[in-house]
Amino acid sequence: MTGSDSGRIGIVGAGITGAATAYFVSQDRSAADVVVFERNEDVGGRLQTATIGDRTFEIGGKYLHTDDPFCMGFVEEFDLNRADPLDVTGSDPPAMGRETTIGIWDGESFAVNLEDSLFSSVGHLLGSYPLSLYRLFQEGSALEEQLGELSEQIAAGESVRTVTELTEKWGMGDWCRRTAREQLTDAGIAEQCIEEVLAATTQTTLGQEPSIHAFGGLYGFLSMGASGGDPFAIEGGNATLVETLLDESAADVETETAVQTIERETDGYRIHHDDGTTAVDAAVLAAPYERTDLTFDGVDAPPERPYHTNHLSFVAGTLDTNYFGTESIPDLVAAADDPDVPFTLLASMGSVEGVPGTLYELETPTEPTKDLLSRLFTSYEVVASKSWQGFPRFDPGIDRPPFELADQLYYPNAIESLMTSMEFSALAGRNTATLISDANV
């Protein structure tokens, strides 16, 4: 690290990316003056929960994984309790560690119907896809190895200025230029395996089909448990991690303070916001530019990315077995890549105090119609719902914004052109703090 030990750093956005950036800047520069602007009342960004009856569920960034080096490092350093994402009010084993039946619905029948987790029944799937699942795991393992090297070197002080530099430097460029279908077909993986197993994992984790870039497809596969890491949430909600990082950074956090303009000045930037203006030596846009009303004065704005919209509904009721043609409906139903399937995920959340019947999580591309709900359920009540633009479209070959928009102006959210996850956000925060130090701000 070559930077000075002080300077004023302004960060726009108090989600996991902004909080991680503030924390790492404070670790590198003990005398730095860090101010974080957040337009909402609470910090956390897309890390949000919903309380229904006697349980509190993660509804934004649901899972961390025990093999995520940055986030697990935070959990251990700050002694945070791990919890079940299906109820973050207490410390319990992770939800996906329970015995859960999993099915892949192709619109007519369950292409796969397993009595345990998708990745513990390898023998069953290999019977359907000779060698294909083995090869899929090989591809996933290769990506996992590259990600391990990436995390280790970024943590040690390596830095990159663009997403393309990152993917090329750590051998992931081809995975970002090609679709998951193309990459995996060339790896000898059967089309049926791609359209059923891979599609189900990308639909469930990202809400997108295997025409996304191969990096996204394989990362979705890993995040469903193929890497072997255990998924979990943080007791009290994953936004607790953001609160902790901001507390540890000693940053001045200005909530309910929207930023209108970042203006370039002779020596640094001026941030125009609801409460006036703030002069800073370096400015950091940690929020997705596309989801702000922010303008830039004196520098170019980053290219905009199309965002994927997903609708999340919590539905209390009784499933209609006639829709699925069987009495044995799995606990978690993931959709195959078929436009005739009107949902991406249907998962039983079990019994909840004060809620009639069983509570289900239903994820759909648009708000579910009464007709769809009547087809899926014999009786139902929508008890909570939310529309998300949680992920950019992970299309191959798109114009990806850089991490460094101009001298002393940084955009760690550019990482979302590659992947959206708490772990990648933390990595981008570490990278940004290194860029700031290396620039001698």
pLDDT category at 92 given cuts 50, 70, 90 is low
Question: Does residue 116 surpass a pLDDT of 60?
Answer: no
pLDDT value at position 15? 96
Write phi, then psi, for 232 (nearest 5 degrees): -160, 170
Distances (CA, A) of 155 to 21, 55, 75, 217, 400: 13, 36, 16, 25, 23
Q: Tell me what the pLDDT averaged over the chain comes to.
A: 88
Q: Between residues 339 and 438, which one has the greater pLDDT? A: 438
Q: What is the pLDDT of residues 167-191, one digit of tens each?
A: 999 999 999 999 999 999 999 999 8
pLDDT of residue 166: 96
Tell me the pLDDT band of 123, cut-offs 50, 70 and 90. Answer: very low
Phi, psi of 166 (to 5 degrees): -60, -50
- 165: part of which helix (H) or strand (E)? helix 163-169
For 138, the token pair is 């090989």
- Taking the C-alpha atoms of residue 6 and residue 341, their distance in angstroms, rounded to an integer, is 55
DSSP annotation string for 385-431: EEEEEEEE---TT--PPBSEEETTEE-GGGGGGT---HHHHHHHHHH
Show Cβ contacts of residue 404 under 8 Å, excluding neighbours closer than 6 positions: 161, 162, 410, 411, 435
Select the more confidently predicted residue: 101 or 293: 293
Query: Residue 40 has which token pair?
Result: 């909402």
* Position 124, amino acid: H
What is the predicted pLDDT for the residue at 370? 95
| pLDDT at 69 exceeding the cut of 70 | yes
Q: Does position 103 have pLDDT exceeding 80, yes or no? A: yes
Top-confidence residue, 198 or 236 = 236
Using alpha carbons, select from 16, 393, 352 the residue that is nearest to residue 202: 393
Residues 21-56 pLDDT 10s: 999 999 998 888 999 999 999 999 989 888 898 888
pLDDT of res. 96 = 42
Highest mean pLDDT among 200-209, 263-272, 319-328, 362-371: 263-272
Of 18, 1, 19, the C-alpha closest to 243 is: 19
pLDDT at 2: 39
Residue 336 amino acid letter: A
pLDDT at 201 over 70: yes
Q: How many CB atoms lie within 10 A of CB 369?
A: 11
User: What does the DSSP 8-state code read for residue 189?
Assistant: -
pLDDT digits (tens, 9 = 90+) for 319-333: 999 999 998 898 888
Q: Three-state DSSP class for 103?
A: strand
Q: What sections of 156-284 are H helices per DSSP?
A: 163-169, 173-177, 180-186, 191-193, 199-206, 214-221, 239-249
Cβ atoms of 101 and 113 closer than 8 Å: yes
Is 259 a residue whose pLDDT tops 60? yes
* CB contact at 8 A, 66 and 72: yes
Share of the chain above pLDDT 90, in %: 57
- Mean pLDDT, residues 410-419: 95
User: Do residues 430 and 154 touch, judged by C-beta distance below 8 A?
Assistant: yes
Domains and their CATH numbers in the chain: 8-47+238-306+396-438 (3.50.50.60), 129-229 (no CATH)
